[in-house]
């Protein structure tokens, strides 16, 4: 919840480029979550479907905001 709150504050108060960088940094969280799921015997399909997809969306959105 804290990382989501940081994103909301930056979204409301900073430039789009800054928000893009924050999103790229926050993409580490779902990547780590996917690794944790897989290393603890969880389904790789679930890890990719949920966590890797979230990371990909954060990276794509952050990249668009930085490069615009």
What is the Cα–Cα distance from 33 to 13, expressed in whole angstroms?
28
What is the Cα–Cα distance from 65 to 59, expressed in whole angstroms?
10
Confidence at residue 7, expressed as pLDDT on a 0 to 100 scale: 78
Confidence at residue 5, expressed as pLDDT on a 0 to 100 scale: 84
Q: Is the pLDDT of residue 1 over 90?
A: no
Q: Per residue in 2-43, pLDDT tens?
A: 777 887 888 889 899 999 999 999 999 999 999 999 999 999
Half-sphere exposure of 55 (CA within 13 A, CB side): 16
Residue among 48, 24, 26, 53 nearest 38 (CA)? 48
């Amino acid at each position: 919840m804290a990382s989501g709150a940081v994103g909301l504050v930056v979204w409301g108060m900073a430039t789009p480029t800054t928000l893009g960088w924050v999103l790229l940094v926050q993409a580490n969280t779902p990547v780590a979550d996917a690794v944790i799921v897989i290393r603890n015997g969880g389904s790789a399909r679930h890890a990719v479907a949920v966590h890797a997809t979230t990371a990909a969306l954060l990276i794509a959105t952050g990249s668009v905001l930085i490069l615009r």
